[in-house]
C-alpha cells in the first residue's frame, strides 16, 4: 500500500467535524474529483459530481446518493453503522471493502482516485433494492445507476475503480497484529531478534503498513526505547533488533486497521441531506510479547598445584558446590549441576592440573571442594575440613581459582634395608680405637717373630 495517514489524524478529523464552529460555506462545496459527462435521469443537479465535499474545512465523502450535499452550517452527529439507502445492513465483505478504501484513499490527492472512490461508495450503498429504484423522482428513494455512470466518468476513472476494488478485496480487514519474542534464551546486554506481523483475513501480510512499538527493560541497538517500522511490499513480518537491559524485556506494538464496518455521521436537524463518512471508523490494533532474560553465563577454572614445587597435580577429584560447600551449583538454565547420583558433580583435574566448569548461572558463588587426597598428599588432608577454593562467577567471565596441596613429609630410613633381590645384607663392622700397653708388647713380639721367620725362609732358598 502506500498510505501515510495515521489513526490519530482520522480521529481528530472526525471530532473536528462535530465540534468545529459553523461557517458560511455554501451547500455542497466540491472537494477533489470529477463531474460525470452527464447526470443520471431523474437525479437533481449536482448528482453528476463524483468526489469529496468540503465540510467545515475538511474533506468528507457522501453516501445516500442524490440527496443534497453536506452544509457546513448544518451540525452533524455520530450515527450508526453504515447501511444501504434502503436501510439494510451492508454485506460483510462490502462493509470491509468500504472501511479499507476510506482508510487507504480518503486523503488521496488524485482526482481519478477520488472519483473512483465516490463511484464505489454510491454503487455499494445506493443499489436498486425494494423501494429504492431508478424510476422515481423521490431523491430519498432514487437508486444509483452504476452502469450509467461507468460510461460517463471516463476510462481513467474506471481504471481507478477496478484498481481500488481489487486493492480492497485483497487487503480489507479485519487485520490481526501480533509480535513474538525469540525462542532462544535471552541474555541481558546481547542483541536478539523480535518479530512483528500484520496479517489480513486471508492470513497474508499487509504490505507497506506502519507499525509503532515501544520497549520495556530493553532498548534498540542505538539505545532508543521505541520507534516505527514498516512492512515491505509483500507484507512480510518485520524484524526488530532488541537488546535486553533487564530481566523482563517486552515489546508493545500498535497499528491502524480498517474497522469491520464503517460508521457514518448524520445531519442533526434534517433527514433531507446526505450522510457522510470521513474514515472507515478504523480501529487501533495492539499486541505485546515478553520473555525472561538472564545475565550471560559464566565459568570457573581451577588449577591444582603442589605447594612446594608449584607443579600441576593431575587426577584430583573436586566437587562443584554452592557457597555452603554442600548443595549443588546452578547451571545457566537454573537446574542443579549434579552427577548421575543426583549429588553435586565431581570432576577430576586433567594432565595440566586444571578443570573448567562452563555454563554457570551468574552472579553465583561457587566452591570447588577436594573429595580425596591425591597420592603423595595424604598426610595433610583432613576429610572433615577438606581443602576448598571459592569465588563469585560474574556474567560472561571465567573465575580463576587455585587450590594448593602440601606434599607428605619425606621419610629418612635408620638402617640400610634389605636388597630387593633377597641377598643377605652386608653387616657393618665395629672398631675400637683405644691403645693399651700390654697389647702393644704382644703385638711387637709377633712382628719380630714374623720377620725372623721370613729371613730364615729366604736363607734356605739361597
Last residue of a domain, one of 390, 405, 420: 405
Residue 448, in any domain of the structure: no
The answer to whether residues 165 and 20 belong to one domain is yes
Last residue of a domain, one of 405, 422, 446: 405
Q: How far apart are CA 129 and CA 88, in angstroms?
A: 9
Residue 417 — pLDDT band, cuts 50, 70, 90? low
For 111, list phi and psi in degrees, rounded to 5.
-60, -35
The answer to whether residues 139 and 24 belong to one domain is yes
The answer to whether residues 71 and 140 belong to one domain is yes
| CA nearest to 361, candidates 292, 284, 277 | 292
pTM, to two decimals: 0.65
Instruction: Output the domain CATH number for residue 237.
Output: 2.60.40.10
The answer to whether residues 180 and 162 belong to one domain is no
Residue 226, in any domain of the structure: yes
pLDDT of residue 27: 57
Last residue of a domain, one of 196, 224, 257: 257
The answer to whether residues 117 and 32 belong to one domain is yes
Residue 29, in any domain of the structure: yes
| CA nearest to 105, candidates 335, 267, 277 | 277
Domain that holds residue 185: 176-257
Residue 142, in any domain of the structure: yes
Residue 47, in any domain of the structure: yes
The answer to whether residues 206 and 321 belong to one domain is no
The answer to whether residues 16 and 75 belong to one domain is yes
The answer to whether residues 273 and 344 belong to one domain is no
The answer to whether residues 388 and 367 touch, using CB atoms and an 8 Å cutoff, is yes
What's the whole-number mean pLDDT along residues 304-319? Answer: 95
Residue 410, in any domain of the structure: no
What's the whole-number mean pLDDT along residues 390-419? Answer: 83
Cell of 361: 548461572
The answer to whether residues 155 and 199 belong to one domain is no
Count of domains forming the chain: 3
The answer to whether residues 106 and 161 belong to one domain is yes
Q: List 446's β-bridge partners, or say none.
A: none
Residue 244, in any domain of the structure: yes
Cell of 211: 507499525
pLDDT tens sequence across 77-129: 988 889 999 999 999 999 999 999 998 898 899 999 999 999 999 999 999 99
Question: Angle CA(227)–CA(228)–CA(230) in degrees, nearest 5?
Answer: 155
Cβ partners under 8 Å of residue 285, min gap 6 = 175, 176, 177, 198, 254, 255, 256, 257
Residue 455 — pLDDT band, cuts 50, 70, 90? very low
The answer to whether residues 237 and 362 belong to one domain is no
Residue 76, in any domain of the structure: yes
Kindly state the percentage of the chain with pLDDT values over 70: 82
The answer to whether residues 275 and 339 belong to one domain is no
Neighbour count for residue 410 (Cβ, 10 Å): 5
**Cα–chain center distance at 336:** 27
pLDDT of residue 319: 96
How confident is the prediction for the chain on average, in pLDDT?
Answer: 85
Q: Strand 283-290 relative to strand 364-370: parallel, antiparallel, unpaired?
A: unpaired
Kindly state the percentage of the chain with pLDDT values over 90: 72
Amino acid at each position: 500500500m502506500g498510505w501515510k495517514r495515521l489513526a490519530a489524524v482520522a480521529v481528530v478529523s472526525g471530532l473536528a467535524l462535530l465540534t468545529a464552529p459553523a461557517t458560511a460555506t455554501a451547500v455542497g462545496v466540491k472537494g477533489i474529483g470529477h463531474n460525470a459527462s452527464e447526470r443520471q435521469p431523474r437525479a437533481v443537479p449536482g448528482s453528476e459530481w463524483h468526489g469529496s465535499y468540503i465540510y467545515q474545512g475538511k474533506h468528507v465523502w457522501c453516501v445516500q446518493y442524490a440527496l443534497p450535499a453536506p452544509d457546513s452550517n448544518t451540525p452533524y452527529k455520530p450515527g450508526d453503522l453504515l447501511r444501504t439507502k434502503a436501510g439494510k445492513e451492508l454485506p460483510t465483505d462490502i462493509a470491509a471493502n468500504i472501511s479499507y478504501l476510506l482508510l487507504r484513499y480518503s486523503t488521496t490527492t488524485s482526482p481519478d482516485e477520488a472519483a473512483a472512490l465516490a463511484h464505489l461508495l454510491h454503487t455499494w450503498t445506493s443499489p436498486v433494492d425494494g423501494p429504492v429504484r431508478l424510476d422515481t423522482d423521490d431523491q430519498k428513494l432514487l437508486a444509483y445507476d452504476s452502469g450509467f455512470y461507468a460510461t460517463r466518468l471516463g476510462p481513467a476513472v474506471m481504471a481507478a475503480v477496478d484498481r481500488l476494488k481489487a486493492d480492497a478485496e485483497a487487503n480489507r480487514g479485519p487485520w490481526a497484529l501480533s509480535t513474538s519474542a525469540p525462542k532462544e534464551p535471552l541474555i541481558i546486554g546481547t542483541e536478539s531478534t523480535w518479530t512483528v506481523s500484520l496479517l489480513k483475513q486471508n492470513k497474508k501480510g499487509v504490505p507497506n503498513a506502519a507499525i509503532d512499538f515501544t520497549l520495556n527493560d530493553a532498548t534498540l541497538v542505538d539505545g532508543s526505547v521505541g520507534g516505527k517500522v514498516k512492512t515491505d511490499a509483500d507484507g512480510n513480518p518485520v524484524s526488530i533488533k532488541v537488546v535486553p537491559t533487564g530481566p523482563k524485556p517486552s515489546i508493545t506494538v500498535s497499528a491502524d486497521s480498517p474497522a469491520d464496518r464503517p460508521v457514518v455521521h448524520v445531519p442533526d436537524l434534517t433527514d433531507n441531506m446526505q450522510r457522510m463518512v470521513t474514515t472507515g471508523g478504523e480501529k487501533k490494533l495492539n499486541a505485546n510479547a515478553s520473555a525472561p532474560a538472564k545475565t550471560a553465563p559464566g565459568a570457573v577454572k581451577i588449577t591444582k598445584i603442589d605447594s612446594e614445587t608449584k607443579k600441576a597435580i593431575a587426577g584430583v577429584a573436586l566437587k562443584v558446590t554452592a557457597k555452603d560447600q554442600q548443595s549443588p551449583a546452578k547451571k545457566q538454565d537454573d537446574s542443579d549441576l549434579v552427577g548421575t547420583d543426583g549429588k553435586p558433580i565431581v570432576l577430576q583435574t586433567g594432565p595440566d592440573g586444571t578443570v573448567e566448569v562452563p555454563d554457570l548461572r551468574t552472579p553465583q558463588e561457587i566452591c570447588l571442594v577436594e573429595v580425596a587426597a591425591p597420592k603423595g598428599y595424604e598426610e595433610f588432608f583432613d576429610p572433615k575440613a577438606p581443602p576448598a577454593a571459592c569465588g563469585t562467577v560474574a556474567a560472561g567471565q571465567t573465575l580463576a581459582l587455585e587450590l594448593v596441596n602440601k606434599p607428605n613429609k619425606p621419610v629418612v630410613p635408620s638402617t640400610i634395608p634389605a636388597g630387593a633381590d633377597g641377598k643377605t645384607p652386608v653387616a657393618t663392622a665395629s672398631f675400637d680405637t683405644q691403645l693399651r700397653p700390654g697389647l702393644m708388647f704382644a703385638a711387637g713380639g709377633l712382628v719380630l717373630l714374623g720377620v725372623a721367620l721370613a729371613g730364615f725362609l729366604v736363607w734356605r732358598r739361597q
